[in-house]
C-alpha cells in the first residue's frame, strides 16, 4: 500500500531545494509546513481521478458518491460488469464511462498491475499508465504523486505550476511544458515536493494571501 512521505522527509527536501536553487528560497519561506496529500491508490484511485476531472469539487464528490454506491465496490471487475450506458446512470459522461472500461480492462488483461505498480520506476509507471486510452501524461504524473506517494515526479504541463515558475524566475512569459520539465531538472530528486511548494504558493497568491507584486 502506498505511503505518504513523512514530515521529516518533506523538511529535508525543502532544505535541499533551497540549497540547490535560490529561486525557491522565498517560496519555501512563504509556504508553511504541509502534509502530503495522499489519496486512495490503485485502480480505484486512477478511476476516481478520471471521474473527477473537469467538474467542480462539489460535483466531483457527488458523482463519486453515486459511483461508489452504484458499484458496491470499486474494482475493475465491478466496472466491466456494468455497460457504458449503465455507468452513465451513475453520473458519468459517456467518455468517462468508456475510459473506466479501458482502465479496468488494462488491469484485467495484464497490461498494468495496479496492485504492484510500485515495482515499476517512475518512467516505466508513466509509460504503462499513458498507454491506457483516456490517461494522459498529466493524469499519470499526478496519480503517481497523489496516489502513490512518489517524490520525484513533476507534471510540467500543469498551468498553475508553469505560472508559479514564471513568478519565481521573474519571466515575462509562462514556460512551455518542455521548458517546465527542463527547469524542474534542477530539483531532482525532490521534484514532487517542489511541485507542492509551487502549487501552495500559487494558491496563496490567487487567494490574496500573498500579493502578486511580492511574488513576481
- Close Cβ partners of 120 (under 8 Å, ≥ 6 residues apart): 128
Q: List, for residues 4-49, the tens digit of each pLDDT value.
A: 899 999 999 999 999 999 999 999 999 999 989 899 999 999 999 9
41 in helix, strand or coil? coil
When pLDDT is cut at 50, 70 and 90, the band that residue 214 belongs to is low
Contact 199, 155 (CB under 8 A): no
Q: What average pLDDT does range 42-70 have in this prediction?
A: 95
Q: List, for residues 155-199, the tens digit of each pLDDT value.
A: 999 999 999 999 999 999 999 999 999 999 999 999 999 999 999
Q: Please tell me the pTM assigned to this model.
A: 0.92
The CA distance from 58 to 143, in Å, is 20
**Residue 83 CB burial class (10 angstroms; 0-12, 13-18, ≥19):** exposed
Q: What pLDDT was estimated at residue 193?
A: 97
In 3D space, the residue among 102, 66, 97 whose CA is nearest the CA of residue 83 turns out to be 97
Q: What pLDDT was estimated at residue 211?
A: 78
Distances (CA, A) of 216 to 26, 31, 176: 11, 15, 18
When pLDDT is cut at 50, 70 and 90, the band that residue 216 belongs to is very low
Amino acid at each position: 500500500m502506498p505511503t505518504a512521505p513523512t514530515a521529516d522527509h518533506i523538511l529535508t527536501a525543502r532544505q535541499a531545494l533551497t540549497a540547490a536553487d535560490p529561486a525557491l528560497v522565498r517560496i519555501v519561506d512563504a509556504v508553511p509546513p504541509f502534509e502530503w496529500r495522499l489519496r486512495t491508490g490503485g485502480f480505484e484511485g486512477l478511476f476516481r481521478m478520471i471521474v473527477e476531472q473537469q467538474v467542480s469539487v462539489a460535483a466531483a464528490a457527488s458523482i463519486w458518491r453515486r459511483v461508489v454506491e452504484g458499484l458496491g465496490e470499486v474494482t475493475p471487475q465491478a466496472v466491466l460488469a456494468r455497460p457504458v450506458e449503465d455507468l452513465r446512470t451513475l453520473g458519468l459522461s459517456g467518455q468517462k464511462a468508456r475510459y473506466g472500461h479501458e482502465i479496468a480492462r488494462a488491469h484485467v488483461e495484464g497490461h498494468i498491475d495496479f496492485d504492484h505498480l510500485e515495482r515499476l520506476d517512475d518512467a516505466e509507471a508513466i509509460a504503462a499508465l499513458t498507454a491506457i486510452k483516456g490517461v494522459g501524461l498529466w493524469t499519470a504524473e499526478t496519480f503517481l504523486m497523489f496516489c502513490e506517494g512518489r517524490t520525484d515526479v513533476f507534471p510540467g504541463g500543469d498551468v498553475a505550476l508553469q505560472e508559479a515558475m514564471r513568478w519565481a524566475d521573474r519571466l515575462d512569459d509562462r514556460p512551455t511544458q518542455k521548458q517546465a520539465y527542463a527547469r524542474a531538472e534542477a530539483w531532482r530528486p525532490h521534484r514532487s515536493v517542489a511541485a507542492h511548494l509551487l502549487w501552495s504558493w500559487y494558491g496563496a497568491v490567487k487567494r490574496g494571501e500573498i500579493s502578486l507584486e511580492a511574488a513576481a
